[in-house]
Amino acid sequence: MLSRTMAKTIAIVGAGRVGQSLARALRRRGYRIGAVVARSTRSAHRAVKFIEAGKPLARVEPALLAANVVLVATPDGQVAEAAGALARLKGSWKGKVVLHTSGALSASALARVKRCGAAVGSLHPIWPFPKPIKILPEGIVFGIDGDLRARRQARTLVRALGGGPMEIRAGEKALYHAAAVLVAGHLMTLIDLGTRMLRRTGVAEREARQALLPLVQQTVAGYARLGTRAWTGPLERGDADTVRRHLKALRRLPPVYRRVYAALAEAGVELYRRDRGQTTRALQRLLKKVR
C-alpha cells in the first residue's frame, strides 16, 4: 500500500541493468511504471518484459510527463543529454522529481530539467548490477543528494525498496563513488592479482581461488567485528625483512604487481603508523623505493 508521500507513477529513462532492476522492484512494491525509455525499441521492449510493466519507448516523448518521478538510469555520459531531452518536452515539470542513478555525478547533471521546474537529485545503489536483478536484496544502501524535495522523494523510494538512504554532502559524489569503487571493483582486481601470483608458484587457478577466497572472507569478517584491530601480517608485525623478500620476488612479475603491493603496504603503514614507531620507518623507506 502506497503512503501519501510515495510517487504514484515512475518513468524510466535508460532501461538497462539498473533501470530494469529498480523499476521491477518498485512495481513489486506497488508503484505504477509509466514510460520505459531505451535507445532502441528492442531494448525498450525487452526491459518492459523484464519489469512486467510500462510503456516501451525508443526516445523521450511527452508520455513521460504523466509520471510523478522520472528515474534517469542511462550511462553517466548520457545523463545530461537525457535531462536536455526531458527539458525539451512541452509541458510542466512543476511538482515533478527527476532522479539519476549515477554514483559519480551529482544532482547538477540534471540542471537542464531543473530549470524547467523539476526538483532534481540522485539515488545511487551501492550494489553491483552485472545484469538486471529479478529480486533486489533488502538492505542495499543508496547514496542520495540533490534538492530538498528530490532527497525526500529519493528517501521514500529507497525505503520502499527495503534499502537504506545515505545522504552525501553536495559536491562530494565523486569522492563517495571513488570509495565504493576502491573497495568493490579494486578488491576484485586485488583477488585476481593474488590468484595470478599463486598460479606462478605452480598452483592451478581453481586451487588458487580456493586458497584465497576463504582468506578474503575471513579478513572481511574480522574487519566487520574488530575494525583495523583485525590487521595481521608482516606490516602489522613491522617485519621489514619479509617485506623486502616479497618485493624481490615480485620483480619477476609485470611491474604493476610490485607497485600495487607497495602502494597498499604504504597505505597500511601510513594509516596505522602511530602505533608502530621505529620499525615502521624502516618499512616506509623500503616501500618508498618502489614509487
Ligand X SMILES: NC(=O)c1ccc[n+]([C@@H]2O[C@H](COP(=O)([O-])OP(=O)(O)OC[C@H]3O[C@@H](n4cnc5c(N)ncnc54)[C@H](OP(=O)(O)O)[C@@H]3O)[C@@H](O)[C@H]2O)c1
Interface contacts to ligand X, rule CB under 6 A:
13-19, 37-40, 43, 73-76, 78, 81-82, 101-103, 124-125, 128-129
The three-state secondary structure class of 56 is: strand
Of 91, 148, 96, 86, nearest in space to 118 by CA: 96
Dig out the grid coordinates for 57 from the structure: 519507448
Dist. CA 21–CA 134, nearest whole Å: 6
What residues contact 160, with CB distance under 8 A and at least 6 apart? 6, 26, 29, 30, 31
Report the nearest approach of ligand X to the CB of residue 213 (Å): 21
Report the nearest approach of ligand X to the CB of residue 73 (Å): 4
Report the nearest approach of ligand X to the CB of residue 98 (Å): 13
Of 66, 14, 22, 67, nearest in space to 158 by CA: 22
Residue bearing cell 623505493: 289
Helices (H), the chain: 17-28, 41-51, 79-87, 111-114, 148-160, 173-183, 185-199, 205-226, 234-237, 240-250, 255-272, 278-288
Report the nearest approach of ligand X to the CB of residue 129 (Å): 4
- CB nearer to ligand X: pick between 44 and 243: 44
- CB nearer to ligand X: pick between 37 and 119: 37
Kindly list the distances between the CA atom of residue 121 and the CA atoms of 75, 97, 110, in Å, as whole numbers in the listed order: 16, 8, 8
- CB nearer to ligand X: pick between 99 and 235: 99
Report the nearest approach of ligand X to the CB of residue 124 (Å): 5
Report the nearest approach of ligand X to the CB of residue 44 (Å): 7
Whether the CB-CB separation of 108 and 102 falls below 8 Å is answered with: no
Dist. CA 247–CA 251, nearest whole Å: 7
- CB nearer to ligand X: pick between 140 and 212: 140
- CB nearer to ligand X: pick between 112 and 124: 124
- CB nearer to ligand X: pick between 40 and 189: 40
